[in-house]
Homo-oligomer: A and B are copies of this chain.
Amino acid sequence: MTIAGGGPLYAQVRDLVIERIHRGEWKPGEPIPSEIRLARDLSVSQGTVRKAIGELVADNVLVRRQGKGTYVANHDSYRALFHFFHVVADRGERALPESRAHSKGQKRATREEAAALSLQSGETVIRVERVRSLGGSDIIAETISVPARLFPGLQRLPVAGVPNTLYELYEREHGITIHRAEERLKAVRPGSRIAQLLGVDRDEPLLRIERVAYTLDGKPVEWRVSYCNTARHHYANSIT
Residue positions of A touching B, CB distance < 8 A: 58-60, 83-84, 86, 179-189, 203, 205-208, 228, 230, 234-240
Residue from B58, B83, B186 within 8 A of A239 (CB atoms): B83
Chain B residues with Cβ below 8 Å from A189 are 205
Residue from B83, B180, B184 within 8 A of A235 (CB atoms): B184
Contact in complex: A236, B182 (CB < 8 Å): yes
Q: How many identical subunits does the complex contain?
A: 2
Q: How far is the CA of A234 from the CA of B186 in the complex (A)?
A: 5
Q: How far is the CA of A230 from the CA of B234 in the complex (A)?
A: 17
Contact in complex: B188, A205 (CB < 8 Å): yes
Chain B residues with Cβ below 8 Å from A237 are 182-185, 237
Chain B residues with Cβ below 8 Å from A188 are 187, 205, 230
Q: How far is the CA of A182 from the CA of B238 in the complex (A)?
A: 5
Q: How far is the CA of A228 from the CA of B180 in the complex (A)?
A: 26
Contact in complex: A184, B239 (CB < 8 Å): no
Contact in complex: A235, B186 (CB < 8 Å): yes
Minimal beta-carbon separation of A134 from chain B (angstroms): 15
Chain B residues with Cβ below 8 Å from A179 are 240
Contact in complex: A239, B84 (CB < 8 Å): yes
Contact in complex: A234, B185 (CB < 8 Å): yes
Closest chain B residue to A231 by CB distance?
B186
Closest chain B residue to A235 by CB distance?
B185
Closest chain B residue to A181 by CB distance?
B239
Q: Known contacts being A203-B203, A205-B189, is A240 close to B180, with CB within 8 Å? A: yes
Q: How far is the CA of A230 from the CA of B181 in the complex (A)?
A: 21
Q: How far is the CA of A181 from the CA of B59 in the complex (A)?
A: 21
Q: How far is the CA of A237 from the CA of B230 in the complex (A)?
A: 18
Chain B residues with Cβ below 8 Å from A235 are 184-186
Contact in complex: A206, B205 (CB < 8 Å): yes
Q: How far is the CA of A239 from the CA of B235 in the complex (A)?
A: 13
Minimal beta-carbon separation of A105 from chain B (angstroms): 27
Minimal beta-carbon separation of A182 from chain B (angstroms): 6
Taking A58-B58, A185-B185, A189-B205 as known contacts, 13 extra A-B pairs with beta carbons closer than 8 A to each other, sorted by chain A number, are: A59-B240, A179-B240, A180-B238, A180-B240, A184-B234, A185-B237, A186-B234, A187-B208, A187-B228, A188-B205, A203-B203, A207-B207, A237-B237
